[in-house]
Amino acid sequence: MHQYANWVPDHSLIVLVNRNNIYLLTPLGGVQHILTENGKDEMIYNGVPDIIYEEHVWNSDNGIWLKSYVGGWMMIYSTIDNSQVEQIPYIIYGKSSKNETQSYQSIYADKPTGYVMYPKLYSYPYSKPGKNIP
């Protein structure tokens, strides 16, 4: 899933964040450089914020900053590591999640609407006051 895309300042490449990893693509979509390979869903975020940073710190949906200068451009990107952050539980009601297994969907989701008839418990890293923050 693409999370962010933008042209670099001289329009020679496209910066793309996909599955929490950062790529530089040619205008035709070929991979020029792979900048990160350690991105992990809901754990390690490269170039994009987690929910805390998006809503409360940056007020932005990306963690990539591009700047042009005479003769080129530069990029700074963020990496957020939530591996030491406590998980909070939450329940999903309604439409089934993309992370659900096919068997769970076929058993519990209503066929015409795709809505889950039985809620499911998930967890997400979310810092509490006085605890670790990435």
Give the pLDDT mean for 34-56. 92
Question: Mind listing the pLDDT tens digit for each residue in 65-84?
Answer: 999 999 899 999 999 999 98
Strand partners, 33: 24
CA distance 29 to 72: 21
Please choose, from the candidates 14, 46, 19, 48, the residue with its C-alpha nearest in 3D space to the C-alpha of residue 31: 14
CA distance 53 to 118: 31
Tell me, what's the pLDDT at 105? Answer: 45
Tell me, what's the pLDDT at 95? Answer: 62
Tell me, what's the pLDDT at 121? Answer: 83
Domain spans of the chain? 2-81, 87-125
Strand ranges (E), the chain:
2-7, 14-18, 21-25, 31-34, 44-46, 64-69, 72-77, 79-81, 87-95, 115-125
Give 3's pLDDT tier (boundaries 50, 70, 90). very high
Most confident among 48-52, 94-98, 109-113 (mean pLDDT) = 48-52
Q: Answer yes or no: is pLDDT of 94 > 70.
A: no
CA distance 71 to 25: 20
The larger pLDDT score, comparing residue 70 to residue 92, is at 70
Cα 12 off chain centre by: 24
